[in-house]
Structure 1
Amino acid sequence: MNIFITGTAGWKTSLRETIAHEYCHSITKYPIANNSILDAIIYEGMAEHYRENVVGGKTAPWASALSRNESKAQLKKLKSKLNSKSHKLFQQVFFGSSEYPLWTGYSIGYQIIKEFMKRSPNVTWKEIMALDPKKILRQSKIMNT
Structure 2
Amino acid sequence: MGGGFFGVVRTDKWLEEDFNNPIKICERLLKVFSEEEGKSVEIYNYLKKFGMYKPNRRSYECFEALKRRDYWGKAEKIFRKYEKKWKGPNIPIYIFPIVGKTSIFSQTYNTKSGVAFQDKMFLFISPFDDDKELEALFVHEYHHVCRLHHKKKNSEAFTLLDSIILEGLAEHAVEECCGQKYKAKWCNYYSRKDILYFWGRYLKPKLMIKQNSQLHDEILFGKKNYPKMLGYSTGYEIVSMYKEETNFSLKDSFLLPSERFLTGLKNINHSNNT
TM range (shorter): 0.7 to 0.9
Task: Return the letter of the residue paired with 1:33.
Answer: S
Q: Name the CA distance, whole Å, in 1 between partners of 2:204 and 2:229.
A: 17
Q: Which residue is equivalent to 1:69?
A: 193
Task: Return the letter of the residue paired with 2:155.
Answer: A
> How many residues matched?
143
| Equivalences for residues 1-145 of structure 1 within 5 A | 1-10=121-130, 12-28=131-147, 29-30=150-151, 31=153, 33-34=155-156, 35-58=158-181, 59-77=183-201, 78-85=203-210, 86-121=212-247, 123-141=248-266, 142-144=268-270, 145=272
TM-score computed with the length of structure 2 as normaliser? 0.48
Higher relative contact order at CA 8 Å, sep ≥6: structure 1 or structure 2? 1
Percent identity between matched residues is: 31
Q: Name the CA distance, whole Å, in 2 between partners of 1:143 and 1:79.
A: 13
Q: Name the CA distance, whole Å, in 2 between partners of 1:53 and 1:106.
A: 17
Q: Name the CA distance, whole Å, in 1 between partners of 2:216 and 2:252.
A: 26
TM-superposed CA distance for 1:114, in Å, is: 0.3
Q: C-alpha root-mean-square deviation of aligned residues, in Å?
A: 1.9
Q: Name the CA distance, whole Å, in 1 between partners of 2:240 and 2:124.
A: 29
SS at match of 1:62: helix
Q: Name the CA distance, whole Å, in 2 between partners of 1:32 and 1:20.
A: 23
**Structure 1, unaligned runs of 5 or more:** none
Task: Return the letter of the residue paired with 1:14.
Answer: E
SS at match of 1:2: strand
TM-superposed CA distance for 1:82, in Å, is: 0.3
**Structure 2, unaligned runs of 5 or more:** 1-120
TM-superposed CA distance for 1:32, in Å, is: 7.6
SS at match of 2:124: coil
Task: Return the letter of the residue paired with 2:213.
Answer: H
Structure with bigger gyration radius: 2
TM-score computed with the length of structure 1 as normaliser? 0.87
Give per-residue Cα distances to partners, 1:7-65, cap 9 Å, x unaligned: 2433x122110011111111113248232111100110000001110111324112222
